[in-house]
Structures are given as C-alpha cells and as structure tokens.
Homo-oligomer: A and B are copies of this chain.
Amino acid sequence: MDGNAVSPNCLSGIRVLDLTQFEAGTSCTEALAWMGAEVVKVENPKGGEAGRIGMPDPYYFMAYNANKKSITVNLKSERGLALVKDMAKQADVFTENFAPGAVERLGLGYDVVGALNPRIIYAQVKGFGEGSPYEKGLCFDPIAQACGGAMSITGEPGGRPVKPGPTIGDTGTGMLLAFSIVSALYQRVQTGKGRRLQAAMQDSVMHYSRGMFISQARHRTAAPRRPAAGNNAPSGIYPCKPQGPNDYVYLLTSRANPEHWPRLLKLMGREDLIGDPRYDTAAARVEHEAEVDEIIASWTRQRTKEEAMAQISGAGVPAGAVFDSMELTNEPSFARRGILQTVTHGEWQMTMPTWPVRFDGAPPPVNPAPILGQDTAEVFSEWLGLEAAEVEALRKQGVV
C-alpha cells in the first residue's frame, strides 16, 4: 500500500453496542467501524460469538470484524446483563442478529433498550420479516438466497438453481442495515430521537435481485435463469487458454450499439462475415446464437483471458476476464491501492478486502479483528468508569 491510509472518520464518537454474530450483523457493524465508529462486540466469555467458535481457524471472524473492540460479558448472569444495560445508556447504536425471539428472552428487547435510551438506534437482522409466514424460521445466507429469489435466477439455462457465491443474504443485508443506521443517526442530529430498525435477509436478497421483477413485468412470467446479460448475442462467457476452471472472458454486445458486432468481426479476422445476413441484426444473431458463439470462442480459445479482455475491450466492446481470488490477490494494484490489505490476528495472517469506497483518494487503515475480550477493561473504564480491580473481580466471578 502507498502508506497514506487515512480513516474516513465520519462516525468518530459514535458508540456501537454490538451483539452481532456470524456475518449478516457483523458485516453491518464492520462497515460502521470502517467509518470510524467505536464498535464494541459483546461476546460470551466461553469462546466468543458463533462466528469465532466452531471454525477451524479465525479467518471467517477476521474478515467480518476488523477495526472492532471485543469485551466479554456473561449475559445469563444478572450482573452481566445489568452491565450491558448500563452500556446501552451510553450507546448510540445497538445491533443484534440472534435467532428470532432470543434477544427478547435475554432481556434486551426493544421495549427494554429503547426505554433505557430513547436516543438509541436499535437495529436488528432476522431471516424473515415480521408478518412473514416464516418469521420464526432460522436463516443462513443460502436459505435467504433460496427464499429471496436469487437462486432462481442463477445457473445454466436448463440446469438446476445455483447459489450465488457472493453472500448477498449476509453482507448484502448488512449493507442495507448499515445505510439505514447512518441515515437514522443523521436524522437524530435534528430530532434527538432514536429509531427501531429491522432488516430481513429474505427481503434484502430480493432487493439485490430486483432485476427479476423487471423481467417478470416485461414477460408476465417468472424471471428465468440466464447466465448472459440479456436477450442478445454474442453475450456471455467464452473459453480461453489454457482452459483452467476460470479461464474465461465475459463479453457483452449491446442492442443499443450495432457497432459492437462488426468491431468483433474485425478484431477476430472475420471481416468476411461483416454484412452477412445470418448475423447482421441483433435478432438474426440470437437466432444463430450457437454459430455466433463458436465464431467468438474459436478466437478466444487461442488467447489467455487477460489477452482476450485487453483486445476485446481495446476494440470498443465491453469485456472482462473471470478472475479468481488468487489472481486478484496477485494483481499488485489492489495492494498498492489498499483494496487488499494483510492483517495479523494472533499467529494468523490473512489478506482481506478493506472498505472499497475511497474518501478523498485515500485507503482506510485496518486494525485486525480483536482477540476475545482484549478490550474488556478499557471499555468498562471508558464507558462505565469501572476500575481495573473491579473488572478483575467481575472476571473472577464469571461475569465478564
């Protein structure tokens, strides 16, 4: 990296009481932390939150908890619960994504926390919305992707539905909630009042999959699976050498730009086909799609995906190589731009994406995800004025 990392610092001074776990909730509070908020994860003293335990290593936890603090509190102890309620009085934001009903059973429902602190933004993630027939159901990212329509529009035509690799149900939901939280904070500057926010993973997946409702409005039938960009040819992925699992280039021709096709023919040495009525209109190319695809593929197979991307986009036709995680890691501009940064957590090291939006051109610095409970004494001192000896006594009693 260029060494010029600067925190956007937009939310400095904002205190987030973070009871989230796994990814949907943690990705939300991580976004707040990238913006400079003080995010304090409250974790159980016996191993920490669900995304920290039961994993073979801490990489999952590291990816979604950068720049946060960690304290341990036994929420099942009366004193522990009282401490968290005291913290809620000091907090600007409260977040959780437990199973339905769990936070209320803990005694930290909105009725309790909102009454303790009417200025708090109380934000929850559930799998399904209040009023859904599934509102009591457990949810994980793939369940939300199935129930929210994303899988129905992903896959090969004629094949079975495929789960998108990006975690739209988890991080996708987290981003919508983070935006809503900051909007509520902005409003609070004027009103002085908190708000209650609820995001459902199924509903959030539908937001990212909205294109299916466009297709449905147009064709009056459920949106189909279609790997290409639209009803156009050539469009889609084409094989490149050396024919590894990700050696493909995606290219896109537009009905709005009739120049794309002759540009491709020229690039590919097939000027003989310019004007050929079999391929000369968008409709004709869709009709002869298999032939059209073979014209393209017989050229791309002779090139690497990087060569194909450079030459096709150089000819004025949108194209992109299918990059895998290792190829992205090895592309030096990501490290130089601070998009990828390497963090250390105990004995573990990981190269991970940072907040991707640039503020005044600078990348953000990253602090690795916290070790369990590393900030317990400091946070109880700063937020509640407890002395080190008091915290130590609480630790011996099993409260923290």
Contact = CB atoms under 8 A, between A and B. Distances in A.
7 contacts: A63-B211, A160-B248, A161-B322, A164-B165, A179-B179, A180-B359, A182-B183
Contacts of A143: 250, 252, 318-320
Interface in A141-185: 141-156, 159-168, 171-172, 175-180, 182-185
B246 A152 contact: yes
A159 B160 contact: no
Interface of A: 8-11, 31, 35, 50, 53-54, 56-57, 59-60, 63-64, 129-134, 137-156, 159-168, 171-172, 175-180, 182-187, 189, 195-200, 203-218, 221-225, 227-229, 237, 239, 245-246, 248-250, 252, 255-256, 309, 313, 318-329, 331, 333, 336-337, 339, 350-353, 355-361
- Indicate how many identical chains form the complex: 2
B184 A186 contact: no
Contacts of A221: 326
Contacts of A176: 175, 356-357
Nearest to A123: B357
A177 B182 CA distance: 13
B361 A213 contact: no
A104 to B, nearest CB: 15
A212 B325 contact: yes
Given A168-B168, A322-B146, A177 B357 contact: yes
Contact of A214 (B60, B134, B212): B60
B144 A339 contact: no
9 nearest CB pairs, A to B: A153-B165, A164-B164, A143-B320, A203-B356, A10-B183, A222-B326, A222-B324, A10-B187, A54-B256
Nearest to A165: B153
